Amino acid sequence: MVYRTSDGRWIGVLNDYDLSSTEHDGPRGHERTGTVPFMAMGLLTKKAIEGKVEHLYQHDAESFIWVLTWVCLRYEDGELLHKGRLLDEWLRVDAIGCHEKKSSFLSKLSDEDLRPSGSHGENWEVAQKCLAVIYSHYGPIKSRKMTDGEVFRSWLQDQVPVHLQAGYLLSGE
């Protein structure tokens, strides 16, 4: 959903009703649902699968980055590539396996075989910067819980060139 504010800015929200409930039936548990290739790495762990990891804004921001990566490497002008598609293996593994695949992917970010489709060159530059931030977050030093504002600024806003920010609907509010 997207709406325009009175000062002309666009604000967007992605709605996902997987975990919704009505006021009469209440929440149904602590399970995590989502499309595994797009889920944050912190939610692709045994502890998270058992419902022992708090879902944070940083998980949603990271999910956005994985979606951007997916689109850059698998689509050309809005059409799914039919040959040479990267990341197919992410669809064939469970959550723990996808965590391993993503960890390996992050360690190969500078690999020359990772090339975006022709229509996503500029988006891929943004995705790589965002992925580098994720890589540093999951690195050898234990990651910490960050405020929503810190995540927004350091994971998203600071990685997108100013001239592209309007296209990504980035707003600090």
pLDDT in tens, 50-76: 989 988 889 999 999 999 999 999 999
Closest CA to 129 of 65, 39, 41, 71: 65
Pairwise CA distance, residues 55 & 45, whole Å: 13
How much is the average pLDDT of 11-32? 53
Q: What is the pLDDT of residue 41?
A: 94
Q: What is the pLDDT of residue 28?
A: 43
- Please give the full DSSP string across 105-155, using - where no structure is assigned: HHHTTT-TT----GGGHHHHHHHHHHHHHHHHHTSSSPP----HHHHIIII
Q: Is the pLDDT of residue 13 over 70?
A: no
- Please give the full DSSP string across 54-115, using - where no structure is assigned: ---HHHHHHHHHHHHHHHHHHEETTEE-SSS-TTGGGGSS-HHHHHHHHHHHHHTTT-TT--
Tokens for 159, please give them.
Answer: 């990685």
CB 69 within 8 A of CB 127: yes
Domain limits of the chain?
35-168
Pairwise CA distance, residues 124 & 131, whole Å: 10
Closest CA to 86 of 64, 101, 65, 103: 101
Pairwise CA distance, residues 68 & 170, whole Å: 14
Q: Is the pLDDT of residue 128 over 50?
A: yes
- Is the pTM of the predicted complex or chain greater than 0.85? no
For the chain, how far is it from start to end, CA to CA, in angstroms?
A: 16
User: Could you tell me the pLDDT band of residue 170, with boundaries at 50, 70 and 90?
Assistant: low
User: Could you tell me the pLDDT band of residue 105, with boundaries at 50, 70 and 90?
Assistant: very high
Percent of the chain with pLDDT over 70: 75
CB 85 within 8 A of CB 74: yes
